[in-house]
Structure 1
Amino acid sequence: MRPLLLAAGYVNVDVTAELGRIPGFGERVTAGRISRSPGGMTANMACAASRLGMEVRFFGGVGPDTGGEEAVAELARFGVDTSAMTASEGSTTTSLILLGPEGDRAIVSEPLAFDYQPLRAALVESPERRKCLHVDGYRLADGLSVLRQARRAGFVTSADLDGIEPGELAAKLPEIAEALDVAFLNAGLAEALAEDPEEAADQITGQGVTAAAVTLGGAGAVVADGSGCWRVSTPEVEVVDATGAGDVFAAAFLAEWVEGGDTERAGRFAAAAAAISVGAAGARGQVPYRGEVVGLIEAS
């Protein structure tokens, strides 16, 4: 039986501007192209996890508009169960992505109102099998009680800490660690804990998190657990758009890790999956299948 993933958090419309350079305040530039596509940290992660073999249910809200209809349809196209999604009164949230020529980007997101009731009900109803709950960092301020409930119900709990203010992460790490089995964060956020990503990962696992991963973009990632810390490299690929690569990394890590808890192996699998995902424009332009990831690892 496939492991179950409950994914709770952002689903939105991505408006992406492809630029020769990312402007500063007071500047004006002309985009090579401006496009719209479904996005959202956790929605991206849910699509990738489904494609990599997990059974995925998504929890989040969309507005009564075309963007919301497209977002739900896109999740369903990837095989994600959207039956627990809720309708919000406002419009579907929008994310502005400024994409530079080397795949670098700046992202501006709207806040998201979240209804926890369907998620709490699902935690009670879920059958006894391998199962995970993953949330984005924007949920942690008011979602720690849900994560603790999930652990009591036998779930592996996971969060992408991006979205937490750096000062808040340092101050609340002990409280956050009590609710998490797996934590993901990028290099910039890790600097709130230590200058060295290995030390930051060790700090997180030292607080009680079972496994931690610090993503380093094209330089790969650092993964750690109670038995060690490893730097995993990213296969060399041409970068078209790095949007969503961290979401694919988190999905691939969990998809592999829940099968046996091997942190280093899961880190290498996740780095390869993320490398494939940057080869096309859009957060879901090139979400890999498991066979593609295995093939890239063997070829590398």
Structure 2
Amino acid sequence: MQANVVVVGSLNMDLVTRAERLPRPGETVFGQSFGTVHGGKGANQAVAASRLGAQVAMIGCVGSDAYGVQLREGLEAENIDCQAVRTVTQGVSGVALIVVDTNSQNTIVVVPGTNGCLASQDIMAFDGMLQETKVIICQLEVPMETVGHTLKRGRELDKIVILNPAPASGPLPVQWYASVDYLIPNESEAGALTGVTVDSLDSAELAARSLLALGAGKIIVTLGAQGALLVSAQRVMHFAAPKVEAVDATAAGDTFVGAFSAALAAGKGEDDAIRFAQIAAALSVTCAGAQPSIPRLQDVKDFALS
């Protein structure tokens, strides 16, 4: 299989509990349910792209534990090429501890595990995969050096390079921006990157323009129920979000990124790709869990016709 989307990123096992509300610092609350769900921002985006029509390859690392076996098998079951997913001997796979409240808000603690082992050498070992693809996706749950190498190589190969700067705790290395075609942060990530409090369309545009000034090609700020804002040197465009009843927003951002990438790889125009991604993300919040909530291509087509 020749992949038209390559995802470089994390694979985690999500340990998910639902509770009436999120605990305050130092407080214990009773949970209502518990489950293990395949996740990790990289793997989520790979699954989304695959379910929504792309031929996908994943570059990442898992441990030699039971979670590592399950994570690899889960991706293979989604028809994702896992030849570049390295098993780290005696390594412990990444996990995410997730609490979701009755309002579908969540808190997440990520323990990187073997995601921290993904090195530039892993990317170089599969350079041919990058050469053959159309779209390369990165996030920030693997080492920064590895992300920087991938972005730079993607630009050298003239691919569509997408960076989802999550989780973001501060500014990115300035030299990265020139390698990124689409930078896709949510409100909090845009704020962390720029210092701007993003709580409206105007503030989202302000943050996006500061990121453009650093050299990024185009910015798409995802705003949850407020939709998405595209900002480029040529235009500003707001895309309203489809109306749905939210259950769990855990993988909405990852679904958007994967869907947007799949649409671009299929030759859709920028606006159509964003609208497609918004429907996919909206559908994802109507179900619980990370990867279990990600819709399939027919689901998006049916919603678009409804």
Q: Fold match, TM over 0.5?
A: yes
Please state how far the C-alpha of 1:138 moved relative to its aligned partner: 3.5
Partners of 2:254 and 2:149 lie apart in 1 by 23
Question: Which ranges in structure 1 are unaligned for 5 or more consecutive residues?
Answer: none
Report matched runs for 1:167-182 at 5 Å: 168-169=171-172, 172=173, 174-182=174-182
In 2, are the aligned partners of 1:224 and 1:263 still within 8 Å (CA)?
Answer: no
What is residue 186 of structure 1 aligned with on the other side?
Answer: 186
In 2, are the aligned partners of 1:46 and 1:56 still within 8 Å (CA)?
Answer: yes
Partners of 1:229 and 1:261 lie apart in 2 by 19
Please state how far the C-alpha of 1:261 moved relative to its aligned partner: 6.8
Change in CA separation of 1:126 and 1:163 when aligned onto 2, cut-off 3 Å? closer
Change in CA separation of 1:126 and 1:136 when aligned onto 2, cut-off 3 Å? closer
Please state how far the C-alpha of 1:126 moved relative to its aligned partner: 4.8
The counterpart of 1:123, out of the listed 120, 124, 127, is 127
Partners of 1:122 and 1:165 lie apart in 2 by 29
The AA in structure 1 aligned to 2:7 is: A
Partners of 2:231 and 2:261 lie apart in 1 by 14
In 1, are the aligned partners of 2:59 and 2:123 still within 8 Å (CA)?
Answer: yes
Please state how far the C-alpha of 1:127 moved relative to its aligned partner: 5.2
What is residue 138 of structure 2 aligned with on the other side?
Answer: 135
Please state how far the C-alpha of 1:154 moved relative to its aligned partner: 2.9
Partners of 2:139 and 2:154 lie apart in 1 by 15
What is residue 198 of structure 1 aligned with on the other side?
Answer: 205
What is residue 109 of structure 2 aligned with on the other side?
Answer: 108
Partners of 1:78 and 1:39 lie apart in 2 by 13
Count of equivalent residues: 294
In 1, are the aligned partners of 2:5 and 2:265 still within 8 Å (CA)?
Answer: no
Partners of 2:160 and 2:20 lie apart in 1 by 42
Partners of 2:104 and 2:33 lie apart in 1 by 14
Please state how far the C-alpha of 1:17 moved relative to its aligned partner: 0.9
What is residue 212 of structure 1 aligned with on the other side?
Answer: 219
The AA in structure 1 aligned to 2:301 is: V
1:64 aligns with 2:64: yes
Question: Which ranges in structure 2 are unaligned for 5 or more consecutive residues?
Answer: 198-202
Partners of 2:69 and 2:152 lie apart in 1 by 32
The AA in structure 2 aligned to 1:90 is: G
Report matched runs for 1:159-170 at 5 Å: 159-166=163-170, 168-169=171-172
The TM-score, its normalising length taken from structure 1, stands at: 0.91
In 1, are the aligned partners of 2:5 and 2:262 still within 8 Å (CA)?
Answer: no
In 2, are the aligned partners of 1:123 and 1:150 still within 8 Å (CA)?
Answer: no
Report matched runs for 1:1-300 at 5 Å: 4-88=4-88, 89-111=90-112, 112-113=115-116, 114-124=118-128, 126=130, 128=132, 131-139=134-142, 141-142=144-145, 143-166=147-170, 168-169=171-172, 172=173, 174-192=174-192, 193=194, 194-195=196-197, 196-260=203-267, 262-299=269-306
Change in CA separation of 1:125 and 1:56 when aligned onto 2, cut-off 3 Å? closer
Please state how far the C-alpha of 1:209 moved relative to its aligned partner: 2.3
Please state how far the C-alpha of 1:139 moved relative to its aligned partner: 4.0
Moved more, 65-74 or 219-228: 219-228
Moved more, 104-113 or 224-233: 224-233
In 2, are the aligned partners of 1:124 and 1:153 still within 8 Å (CA)?
Answer: no
The AA in structure 2 aligned to 1:211 is: K
Partners of 1:99 and 1:188 lie apart in 2 by 18
The TM-score, its normalising length taken from structure 2, stands at: 0.89
In 2, are the aligned partners of 1:133 and 1:156 still within 8 Å (CA)?
Answer: yes
Change in CA separation of 1:296 and 1:2 when aligned onto 2, cut-off 3 Å? farther
Please state how far the C-alpha of 1:140 moved relative to its aligned partner: 6.7
What is residue 200 of structure 2 aligned with on the other side?
Answer: none
